[in-house]
Amino acid sequence: MKDDYTRNEMTWDGITIEIGWAPEYFSIGDGKTMGHLEIRSIDPEREPLPVTDTGYRSHWMTPEEMDQYGGPLNFVEAWIGHEAQTQSWIDGKLKRAQLELF
């Protein structure tokens, strides 16, 4: 098991996100590996994102799948952008923006 992550940051909708990618987390045989992607909102900490209500998401994929997106930053940007268009995210964002009185 290899847990050396490349870490990058990006900002989406005013939220700073840390992205960790370990392309060779473990072997799946025949010289192939499974990679591990971590997405974490760090400012504000634990802020919900379209791909996670808790501000943290773990995702497994092969390095070849990641390469199709041009790397982890592009993958996360595309994934978040896609999920941000869903009605559940839009509704949740509106609800979080409203102050609750009780």
pLDDT, tens digit, 9 for 90 and up, residues 14-69 = 999 999 999 999 999 999 999 999 999 999 999 999 999 999 999 999 999 999 99
**Which H or E element spans position 63?**
helix 63-67
pLDDT of residue 101: 59
Residue 79 binned pLDDT confidence (cut-offs 50, 70, 90): very high
Residue 10 binned pLDDT confidence (cut-offs 50, 70, 90): very high
**Which H or E element spans position 24?**
strand 15-29
Q: Tokens for 51?
A: 């791909």
| CA–CA dist 11, 81 (Å, integer) | 12
Q: Tokens for 69?
A: 């997106």
> pTM, whole model, 2 decimals?
0.89
